[in-house]
Structure 1
């Protein structure tokens, strides 16, 4: 199933069927949490509504659970309805470029059963490169009833990760850069390295040299060492950059895929948990 949409197709939808398409801007800068909203207010795709990674797509961090825990998904479903999403709505999510935040929202809607959800290939940058219109005008939102149909077995918590790694019942992958995976650098957390047993699949390796997403066949080749019959649990630092890998695995035909939302930031919040720094 395709999970991407190009800017030309989106332009056509907006020109012909705006009432049945909700466009969501999720631009975000981890070093400046207000930057994404400021960019949105300055200019965004016509009709787009803004959702914030930390205010809308994450819950409040606690001692355990990771830096970006999931929000209350019932409240999030209500928020989706308030911005105009129902069963028949096509949702298109964009980032500044092919960044990780659009995939996070795609995954959240995906696990709530909304199938007509797409990530905009190339994001805001690609839209403007094509010369398409942007605006500072805020949209008038029409609330609808979002009926969530939550998909089971899409999320793994720390206990499941431990249990399945102990008996080799799943493969854990780490979506962060190789240097962070190997513990050579760690800009965000007090410990460096990875969850013991995790294999490294850097999320940015999902893209070609020209910056576009790899096609389904190329993604199958990219993940060719991972058997499709085995469950795959995807992690990263805090459950954000793991989401492009979840999307890509689905595009490549993998069905047994889960996200560990807490990821490395949750793992190291327990002092007894070991951290590895060698290739696995």
Structure 2
């Protein structure tokens, strides 16, 4: 797993699928199962992602739904998209034919917001193989003129473009949870005002300032948080910035902090910021998984508004 190169372009993915690679890199890829996961999801239209997958997806891709597969059911606390139970997610990975050694490529149509959620969840589960994000999502794939398919795929072993079905038997995916990648509400609360901890709010600025709140019942942000909208990890063309660019932008934001905790509205769009921070070398960055929707579920938690 390469933390500094988590991004894959459509051309390279096409070559990996069709086996158009040579030398050591081809041996490295073919030694593992290539698992492509469609993570498209629209918050206000929760069934649209599955429908879009059925209309056309990258050949061999399986579909993971944000609500059903990449989250647990909502409860009083834990936010709008609580983390899935490790064993439940592991069972879903097993059903899809994904093993710890799989090279996983996640994509969506939202700039990487939902695909980054799967990227982070696999880091959390202790995945051993590469986990990559398709730069530009399915739009980039289509712009290159690469084919789509409509047939639903049950297992990633079925590689349509290459015309090969892997003979490798599915093994049970055993979670090896890395709890140090998660920050709880209690941890965040205990570190408010600590100058050695940088708390990053990944939402759009008006939501951070508390001027608007279209989703959650309370507006504002966690006191002391700085606002860095997750889409700033992308360039003007909607493509992922290079590791060098990420290092330049994050160094001025993180400064000399010893610890970084990232949140958003429900723990989804914070994941692109965590990925970008890891790209920049800040592999100590944690996700406050419950995020703002969890924070405000505790009436005693303070709320800030404006630029403070």
TM-score, scaled relative to structure 2? 0.87
Task: Tell me the CA shift for residue 218 of structure 1.
Answer: 0.9
Q: Are residues 1:243 and 2:271 paired?
A: yes
Q: Are residues 1:164 and 2:191 paired?
A: yes
Q: Which residue of 2 aligns with 1:189?
A: 216
Q: Are residues 1:15 and 2:18 paired?
A: yes
Q: Deviations over 1:235-264 (max 9, x none)?
A: 000000100000000000002111001111
Task: Tell me the CA shift for residue 145 of structure 1.
Answer: 2.4
Question: Matches of 1:234 and 1:81 in 2, distance apart?
Answer: 29
Question: Matches of 1:90 and 1:172 in 2, distance apart?
Answer: 31
CA pair 145-79 structure 1, distance change in 2 beyond 3 A? same
SS of alignment partner, residue 260 of structure 2: strand
Q: Which of the numbers 54, 63, 73 marks the counterpart of 1:41? A: 54
Q: Which residue of 1 aligns with 2:151?
A: 137
Q: Is the 8 A contact 1:97 1:125 kept in 2?
A: no
Task: Tell me the CA shift for residue 78 of structure 1.
Answer: 2.0
Q: Is the 8 A contact 1:228 1:254 kept in 2?
A: no
Question: Matches of 2:190 and 2:257 in 1, distance apart?
Answer: 18
Q: Is the 8 A contact 2:114 2:269 kept in 1?
A: yes
CA pair 94-18 structure 1, distance change in 2 beyond 3 A? farther
Q: Which residue of 2 aligns with 1:113?
A: 126
Q: Which residue of 1 aligns with 2:247?
A: 220
Question: Matches of 2:39 and 2:31 in 1, distance apart?
Answer: 19
Q: Is the 8 A contact 1:65 1:262 kept in 2?
A: yes
Q: Which of the numbers 203, 207, 216 marks the counterpart of 2:234? A: 207
Question: Matches of 1:14 and 1:128 in 2, distance apart?
Answer: 15
Task: Tell me the CA shift for residue 147 of structure 1.
Answer: 3.1
Q: Which of the numbers 15, 27, 31 marks the counterpart of 2:40? A: 27
Q: Deviations over 1:48-70 (max 9, x none)?
A: 10000000001011111111100
Q: Structure 2 unaligned segments of length 5 or more: list them.
A: 20-29, 158-169
Worse-matched range after superposition: 235-244 or 73-82: 73-82
Q: Which residue of 1 aligns with 2:164?
A: none
Question: Matches of 2:196 and 2:72 in 1, distance apart?
Answer: 29
Q: Is the 8 A contact 1:236 1:264 kept in 2?
A: yes
Worse-matched range after superposition: 203-212 or 224-233: 224-233
Q: Deviations over 1:163-184 (max 9, x none)?
A: 1225445211100001110011
Q: Which of the numbers 256, 263, 280 marks the counterpart of 2:291? A: 263
Instruction: Let me know the Cα RMSD of the aligned residues.
Output: 1.6
